[in-house]
Amino acid sequence: MTKQPRPESKGRPAATSNKQKRAALRKKREAKVRKEARLRRTERVDVAVIKGAIAADLSQQVPNNSYAAKPLSYVDQPFACKDCGKEEVWTAAQQKWYYEVAKGSLYGRAVRCRACRKRRRPNNPSVSTK
């Protein structure tokens, strides 16, 4: 008696081997890597278009352990001091120093003007500790 091939069950896909599953996963991962690389290339082009922007060195930035993208460039950002209300600009060069040299948090932003920051320093004799 010869065996008959098993008919496909209704609504179920055909059985696949582990080797076939691994190959499908590998193909899917490679496609994802190609897509991410393509997106990174287009983001870099967009950065160069921004006038007055300074390119970021991603290798010098502190790791942020997040899925959020790291800044690819720095642009001047206006802000109001939270102590005195004075309008200031956090320049692109200052941002580059803060994020890459001082290793500041990528979520940090300027909130106080230089005079108010200086006033808040602990060893400043002009500040009373009463």
State yes or no: pLDDT of 113 exceeds 90.
Answer: yes
21-70 confidence digits (pLDDT tens): 999 999 999 999 888 887 776 555 454 567 778 888 888 888 877 777 78
State yes or no: pLDDT of 91 exceeds 90.
Answer: yes
What type of residue is 128? S
State yes or no: pLDDT of 107 exceeds 80.
Answer: yes
pLDDT at position 78, please? 94
Of 63, 72, 114, residue with least CA distance to 96: 72
Burial pattern 42-77, b for ≥16 Cβ within 10 A else e, equals: eeeeebeeeeebbebeeeebeeeeeeeeeebbbeee
What 3-state class would DSSP assign to 90? strand
